[in-house]
Structure 1
Amino acid sequence: MRHVIKKGITLRFTISLLVITAILLTMLTSITSAVQVNRTSLIDNYLSKNEAYSKKLASNTSELLNTMQENIRAIADISGRDGSITPQMFDDLFQENTQYFNSILIADHNRVVRAISPHTTGVIVGDKLTSEQSMKAVTMKKTFVSEPYRATTGRLIILISAPITDKNGNYKGFVGGTIYLEEKNVLSTMLKEHFFGDGTYVYVVEENGDLIFHPEQRRVGQQVLQNEVVRKVVSGESGSQKVTNTLGRVFLAGYAHEPSSSWGIISQTPYEVIDKPLRHLVNRMLLFSLPFLILILVLAWWVASRIAKPLHTLAKFSDEATLKPVPAEDIPDIDSSYYEVRLLSQSVKIALQNMNQDLTHLRHEVNIDELTGLVNRRGFDSVMAGWLKSNVPFALILIDIDHFKQVNDTYGHVIGDEVLRYLARLMQLVASEEDVCFRYGGEEFGILIRHCGLVRAKDLADRLREQLAMTKSPTGQPITISAGISASPAHGHSAEQLVMRADEALYHSKENGRDRTTVSRGA
């Protein structure tokens, strides 16, 4: 009696399902891995960029405050030397300093105003200053930058003062320059130049945690000490971290302390800014993989059919053979399935290789600076860590473009970007194929030189510096660079030590006139 066998899942369906599942899981793993790597890279890049940027702004702010204090001291010297300054002379002095101060005044040792410009401040000659900061200026008898305070005019201001002494050294009063924090001032003019389309912005706090600059003018004067980054920066720390601000928004913040005024400069980018490139990455991977997925699915169905067909033929023949005898010559010739299995394996292998190549390419891209094509900070860290782990001797050159802010201010950021690319090309021409040229951040670059001592590293840095000085940059004029050099193991056995030594040497190059190379003196 013939038994009727209930039809279940076919071999062709099972094989096809396994192949489809494997392909989809591989795609999901590849996309998830790529997104995670890219997310980490984006966060690290934004944190690194904001930290470097805040430190740069802190340096610029320090230079600005030094200039303002020097100008106030110069006016104090003129007043002390000449004994008195005519109103016209004082107005002329103010006009020479309008880019720095909203107003300037002279007060005697009793804090009585003897001269003021402009004459629309609400304070007139003969008025007596009653603020705590004016009392401090008279008591301290030295140059200082005040904390923000409300003047009698109702303005929130910062006072920069310098003492006046006569030819015999007797104290006569002080000269004060003011910054109106709630109006257009030198600080807001400088910092408002530094905004980006990705939502990044800068704000400044003084040592008590009060905002003295913020792109939202209404927030100036607010207390924001509850912000973790603000607490760190006013305590003298510099660094970067993910932070939730006082309004509940999450940011990737870099912060730097300005020691001469005890101000803190914070540059921060909204955390959600990384979502757009991640979505773009996922969409691009899906669109790129879709044609291959369709092709592989069709191929899998065909291979499954090829594998199942001979088995189905044999099963059908066996079923029919139970009903009637079949001569030996009528037994169907069943082809071996080994070829079809190898074909399927090879197809899947090719698909996986393509996807792995895509993932490898994407991982490579996150280590390359998009603007210059050089290795980025993340790639630099990876290379240095590998060389240190392998005990490979090498030299590190850190490079900074001199007066790069002036390039951006004079020619614009488009030309500034061309200058960065121009420097990157010359670095690659001067360096050998074994060397690693990288962009450290902003206008700061560097070269890692494998199996190299300090003499060869200095020679390479000087050749690059001299080549730049003799060649016209995209601005139409040559640019100059300052460089600092350290070497492993002479100057340290960790990345932090080597970067610190090279950075200190770079700082010495800057301090000693720029356009020069300095080798670290040692650990």
Structure 2
Amino acid sequence: MNYFTKKGFTLRFTISLLVITAILLTMLTSITSAVQVNRSSLIDNYLNKNESYAKKLASNTNELLITMQENIGAIAKISGREPEIDPQLFDDLFQENTQYFNSIVVADNNRIIRALSPRTIGISVGDKITSEQSKMAIQLKKAFISEPYRATTGRLIILISAPIIDNSGRYKGFVGGTIYLEEKNVLSNMLKEHFFGDGSYVYVVEKGGELIFHPNKKRIGQSVLQNEVVQKVVLGQSGSQRVTNSGGDRFLAGYAFEPSSAWGIISQTPAQVIDEPMHNLVKRMLLVSLPFLLLILLLGWWVANRIAKPLHTLAQFSDEAMLQPVPAENIPDIKSYYYEVRLLSQSVKIALQNMNQDLTHLRNEVKIDELTGLANRRAFDEVMAGWMESNVPFALILMDIDHFKQVNDTYGHVVGDDCLRYLARIMQLMASEDDLCFRYGGEEFGILVKHCGLGRAKDLADRLREQLARTKSPAGTSITLSAGIAAFPVHGRSAQQLVERADEALYQSKKDGRNRTTVSSLPGA
């Protein structure tokens, strides 16, 4: 079968190729769409899961911190009732709280240690605590959770303290429970189970952006404030988003803020976790659809040949007829098919004619000012006429840039055009969706304010005028404008009357010194 001629491809080959290409592209589009939908679904699922998980951990952490503060408070009450603390009693109290604290100390109001447990932490009774956090505990005289700091023992710790008040109500010092961030602690005990085979993990930051828990203990104490998620969570926000960490790794992160400590908890999953499911999805779709694809290709090839056969026959006949006359009886009998082709040809011609008419109509209907993008004078006339015909109340604001000729003379017409576009943008920002902003001509603009009285129209004009006066234009200085307002139907029932009244009010604004708004007086006033 010859699919090529000296003049190019045959129609039969072209149609066949198009059918097959369309089928393959449809197949590719279906697979791509399925992959994109599933990828988006997986991403949303991981983001939502991590956000929910982070919030759950934040709630658990809040409950844990409340319990720890209550326990430290209870020890502080016991210490306030006793003139001297029994070391054995204090050891027993610590043993009851070993699941929460790595150590507990009692210090007087001079920060001298009066009791501690265990006694192997590198400091002794009688030593003075010199950390800024201990000074803060004395100064605040209330319960607080410190930021991470290096203790005199060299450990990176967090202090949870409560004040000691004796029976007479005097402040005697504080009880402090410590969390050793770089060692096994209450946070690691609570969060160590939250790791998954897909690479997901949890980390915790304090309000300054420093890590206080991380599966890699070497990173504890480092600042990660450059991370977008950390920046949000330390500001008290909770949510989820895709994020790239400092190492360039992409994650699907959920984050939650824990208010009592101002800590942020982040649960994140590597973004590549969705790659394998996507690959498996593509493989399954290809395997399932391959038999159907082959069947459709064969069917498409057959249909393409059936469609092209009468046209191919006609083309061969035409080619032969160009070389020599052909008797009428030799014309191939393609009556039924030829009718369809002729009808299609006629339909295409009619469609093209209609399209050209539509394009001409669209060109005539263009009502946009090319320089500013606002409606032009034609659009203004038609909209105002339509509102008047429907008896819709509205206000007309006509505006003129003051001394615009000086702008063109001083800075040139290019800057002048930029100023016109600048005014157009501000008009569109300040007007409502129902209003029509238009360029009347030159440096004269206007707004048709639908369903509006004179008061709201004047307020809009004044706000626009004041905004221009206090901001720099493309000329480097502010520009001002004068405005005149008339309303339908109180100032007239025809377009000409309304424009004349608004124009007279505009002229009055110019006459009165410019940069002002004038409302047209009521007829007979």
- Calculate the TM-score normalised by the size of structure 2: 0.57
Following superposition, the deviation at residue 300 of structure 1 comes to 2.5
- Letter paired with 1:154: G
- Equivalent residue, structure 2, for 1:131: 131
Cα distance change of structure 1 residues 284 and 190 upon mapping to structure 2, 3 Å threshold: same
Following superposition, the deviation at residue 41 of structure 1 comes to 2.3
State the distance in 1 between where 2:337 and 2:83 align. Answer: 109
Following superposition, the deviation at residue 73 of structure 1 comes to 0.7
- Equivalent residue, structure 2, for 1:59: 59
State the distance in 1 between where 2:84 and 2:59 align. Answer: 36
State the distance in 1 between where 2:133 and 2:317 align. Answer: 106
In the TM superposition, what whole-angstrom CA distance separates every residue of 1:463-517 from its partner, at most 9, and x where no partner exists? xxxxxxxxxxxxxxxxxxxxxxxxxxxxxxxxxxxxxxxxxxxxxxxxxxxxxxx
- Letter paired with 1:93: L
Cα distance change of structure 1 residues 305 and 208 upon mapping to structure 2, 3 Å threshold: closer
Following superposition, the deviation at residue 307 of structure 1 comes to 5.3
- Equivalent residue, structure 2, for 1:89: 89
Secondary structure at the counterpart of residue 97 of structure 1 = coil
State the distance in 2 between where 1:274 and 1:110 align. Answer: 58
| Residues 97-136 of structure 1: pairs in structure 2 closer than 5 A | 97-136=97-136
> Is residue 196 of structure 2 the alignment partner of residue 196 of structure 1?
yes
Secondary structure at the counterpart of residue 64 of structure 1 = helix
- Equivalent residue, structure 1, for 2:73: 73
C-alpha contact (below 8 Å) 1:310/1:335 kept by paired residues? no
- Equivalent residue, structure 2, for 1:248: 248
- Equivalent residue, structure 2, for 1:205: 205
Cα distance change of structure 1 residues 335 and 174 upon mapping to structure 2, 3 Å threshold: same
Cα distance change of structure 1 residues 96 and 298 upon mapping to structure 2, 3 Å threshold: same
Cα distance change of structure 1 residues 92 and 311 upon mapping to structure 2, 3 Å threshold: same
Following superposition, the deviation at residue 83 of structure 1 comes to 3.0
- Letter paired with 2:165: T
- Equivalent residue, structure 2, for 1:154: 154
Secondary structure at the counterpart of residue 40 of structure 1 = helix
Secondary structure at the counterpart of residue 98 of structure 2 = coil
Following superposition, the deviation at residue 283 of structure 1 comes to 2.3
C-alpha contact (below 8 Å) 2:12/2:308 kept by paired residues? yes
Cα distance change of structure 1 residues 318 and 248 upon mapping to structure 2, 3 Å threshold: closer
Cα distance change of structure 1 residues 152 and 331 upon mapping to structure 2, 3 Å threshold: closer
Cα distance change of structure 1 residues 304 and 260 upon mapping to structure 2, 3 Å threshold: closer
C-alpha contact (below 8 Å) 2:156/2:182 kept by paired residues? yes
- Letter paired with 2:237: E
| Residues 22-421 of structure 1: pairs in structure 2 closer than 5 A | 22-306=22-306
Following superposition, the deviation at residue 317 of structure 1 comes to 10
Secondary structure at the counterpart of residue 184 of structure 1 = coil
State the distance in 2 between where 1:229 and 1:25 align. Answer: 40
In the TM superposition, what whole-angstrom CA distance separates every residue of 1:208-264 from its partner, at most 9, and x where no partner exists? 111111111100000111222212211222222222222222222222211111111
- Letter paired with 1:173: G
Following superposition, the deviation at residue 126 of structure 1 comes to 1.8
C-alpha contact (below 8 Å) 1:12/1:301 kept by paired residues? no
- Letter paired with 2:261: S
State the distance in 2 between where 1:205 and 1:320 align. Answer: 85
Following superposition, the deviation at residue 25 of structure 1 comes to 1.4
Cα distance change of structure 1 residues 271 and 314 upon mapping to structure 2, 3 Å threshold: closer
State the distance in 2 between where 1:203 and 1:279 align. Answer: 30
Cα distance change of structure 1 residues 179 and 311 upon mapping to structure 2, 3 Å threshold: closer
Secondary structure at the counterpart of residue 273 of structure 2 = helix
- Letter paired with 2:209: G
In the TM superposition, what whole-angstrom CA distance separates every residue of 1:309-359 from its partner, at most 9, and x where no partner exists? 678789999999999x99x9x999989779xx9xxxxxxxxxxxxxxxxxx
Following superposition, the deviation at residue 204 of structure 1 comes to 1.0
- Letter paired with 1:128: K
Cα distance change of structure 1 residues 219 and 320 upon mapping to structure 2, 3 Å threshold: closer
State the distance in 2 between where 1:269 and 1:77 align. Answer: 44
- Letter paired with 1:65: L
| Residues 15-26 of structure 1: pairs in structure 2 closer than 5 A | 15-26=15-26
Secondary structure at the counterpart of residue 120 of structure 2 = coil
State the distance in 2 between where 1:113 and 1:318 align. Answer: 111
C-alpha contact (below 8 Å) 2:12/2:312 kept by paired residues? no
State the distance in 1 between where 2:88 and 2:22 align. Answer: 85
In the TM superposition, what whole-angstrom CA distance separates every residue of 1:105-144 from its partner, at most 9, and x where no partner exists? 1122222212211122111222211111112222222111
C-alpha contact (below 8 Å) 1:208/1:234 kept by paired residues? yes
State the distance in 1 between where 2:155 and 2:261 align. Answer: 20
Following superposition, the deviation at residue 11 of structure 1 comes to 4.7
C-alpha contact (below 8 Å) 1:113/1:129 kept by paired residues? yes
Secondary structure at the counterpart of residue 174 of structure 2 = strand
In the TM superposition, what whole-angstrom CA distance separates every residue of 1:9-51 from its partner, at most 9, and x where no partner exists? 4454333212111101111222222222223222222222222
Following superposition, the deviation at residue 145 of structure 1 comes to 0.8
State the distance in 2 between where 1:315 and 1:231 align. Answer: 71
State the distance in 2 between where 1:266 and 1:180 align. Answer: 20
- Letter paired with 1:29: T
- Equivalent residue, structure 1, for 2:14: 14
Following superposition, the deviation at residue 173 of structure 1 comes to 1.9
State the distance in 2 between where 1:232 and 1:319 align. Answer: 74
- Letter paired with 1:137: A
C-alpha contact (below 8 Å) 2:206/2:212 kept by paired residues? yes
- Letter paired with 1:103: S
Cα distance change of structure 1 residues 333 and 196 upon mapping to structure 2, 3 Å threshold: same
How many pairs align?
335
State the distance in 2 between where 1:181 and 1:187 align. Answer: 8
State the distance in 2 between where 1:228 and 1:315 align. Answer: 66
Cα distance change of structure 1 residues 295 and 85 upon mapping to structure 2, 3 Å threshold: same
Greater mean deviation of Cα atoms: 163-172 or 175-184 = 163-172
> What's the Cα RMSD here?
3.3
Secondary structure at the counterpart of residue 138 of structure 1 = helix
Greater mean deviation of Cα atoms: 58-67 or 285-294 = 285-294
State the distance in 1 between where 2:310 and 2:40 align. Answer: 51
State the distance in 1 between where 2:296 and 2:311 align. Answer: 23
Following superposition, the deviation at residue 99 of structure 1 comes to 0.6
- Letter paired with 2:265: I
- Equivalent residue, structure 1, for 2:405: none
C-alpha contact (below 8 Å) 2:161/2:177 kept by paired residues? yes
C-alpha contact (below 8 Å) 1:240/1:253 kept by paired residues? yes
- Calculate the TM-score normalised by the size of structure 1: 0.58
C-alpha contact (below 8 Å) 2:202/2:268 kept by paired residues? yes
Secondary structure at the counterpart of residue 198 of structure 1 = coil
Secondary structure at the counterpart of residue 289 of structure 2 = helix
Cα distance change of structure 1 residues 331 and 116 upon mapping to structure 2, 3 Å threshold: same
C-alpha contact (below 8 Å) 1:238/1:256 kept by paired residues? yes
Cα distance change of structure 1 residues 18 and 130 upon mapping to structure 2, 3 Å threshold: same
